[in-house]
């Protein structure tokens, strides 16, 4: 093979490799260990205030990674926590803020019709920097704003792991 042909072949190979790399994404995601720590911290935060709740932690795609249900938590709390976590992960937004936005903006009110979405407080995205890697959803406290507080307290407990 001539030197020119070899150089052209090498150049073509490098261009193909560069194009393939440009098509591959690297993203952070929720580990099982982190999900379990968040779920445990969420149950503990609510129990400290006398609330029996369920906590669901999902990954960036809304897939369930961990679930914990406190003693005496109602059966409805499981579905509520999962839907809040799914909503927060999918929308990359706090469900309390989404609920308030839907109440104030007629166009946003249609969000309640998206299958699996639950616009009640208690769903909070889990972020590493600005990247959403999942979400936590809590259901069962006497008010979504209290579920939201517990979720934020749980994330505060693991903040050193979210770097």
Asked if residue 147 belongs to a domain, the reply is yes
Residue 19: per-residue pLDDT: 61
pLDDT of res. 8? 64
Q: What is the mean pLDDT of residues 133-151?
A: 98
Handedness of CA 142, 146, 147, 150 (dihedral sign): negative
| Residue 79 domain flag | yes
Write down the pTM of the prediction: 0.85
- Count of structural domains, the chain: 1
Asked if residue 84 is part of any domain, the answer here is: yes
* Cα-based distances in Å from 83 to 10, 24, 48, 67, 89: 52, 30, 24, 12, 10
pLDDT at 1 > cutoff 90 = no
Give the model's pLDDT for residue 76: 97
Domain annotation covers residue 132: yes
d(CA 125, CA 61): 12
Is 76 part of a structural domain of the chain? yes
Q: How far apart are CA 145 and CA 16, in angstroms?
A: 52
Q: Is 27 inside any structural domain?
A: no
For residue 34, what are its two tokens? 């982190």
Contact 76, 95 (CB under 8 A): no
Q: How far apart are alpha carbons 113 and 13 in whole angstroms?
A: 49
- What are 162's two structure tokens? 């979210």
Please write the tens of the pLDDT for every residue from 72-85. Answer: 999 999 999 999 99
Spatial CA neighbour of 120 closest among 150, 91, 100, 149 = 100
Q: Which of the two residues, 145 and 10, has the higher pLDDT score?
A: 145
Q: Tokens 């906590």 sit at which residue? A: 55
Rounded to whole angstroms, the Cα distance separating 104 from 83 reads 22
CATH number for the domain that contains residue 143: 3.30.450.150
Is residue 11 pLDDT above 90, yes or no?
no
Residue 159 CA: distances (Å) to CA of 15, 55, 65: 41, 18, 18
Q: Residue 100: which domain range? A: 32-161
- Residue 47 inside a domain? The answer is yes
* Confidence grade of residue 159 (pLDDT, cut at 50, 70, 90): very high
- Mean pLDDT for the stretch of residues 56-61: 98
For residue 125, is pLDDT > 80? yes
On average, the pLDDT of the chain sits at 92
157 within some domain: yes
């Amino acid at each position: 093979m001539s030197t020119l042909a070899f150089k052209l072949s090498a150049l073509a190979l490098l261009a193909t490799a560069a194009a393939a790399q440009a098509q591959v994404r690297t993203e952070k995601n929720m580990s099982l260990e982190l999900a379990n720590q968040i779920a445990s911290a969420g149950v503990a935060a609510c129990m400290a205030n006398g609330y029996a709740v369920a906590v669901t932690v999902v990954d960036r795609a809304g897939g369930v990674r961990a679930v914990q249900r406190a003693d005496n938590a109602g059966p409805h709390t499981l579905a509520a926590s999962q839907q809040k976590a799914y909503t927060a992960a999918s929308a990359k937004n706090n469900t309390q803020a989404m609920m308030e936005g839907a109440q104030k903006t007629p166009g946003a009110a249609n969000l309640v019709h998206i299958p699996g979405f639950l616009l009640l407080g208690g769903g909070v995205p889990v972020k590493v920097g600005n990247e959403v890697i999942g979400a936590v959803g809590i259901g069962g406290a006497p008010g979504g704003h209290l579920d939201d507080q517990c979720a934020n307290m749980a994330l505060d407990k693991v903040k050193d792991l979210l770097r």
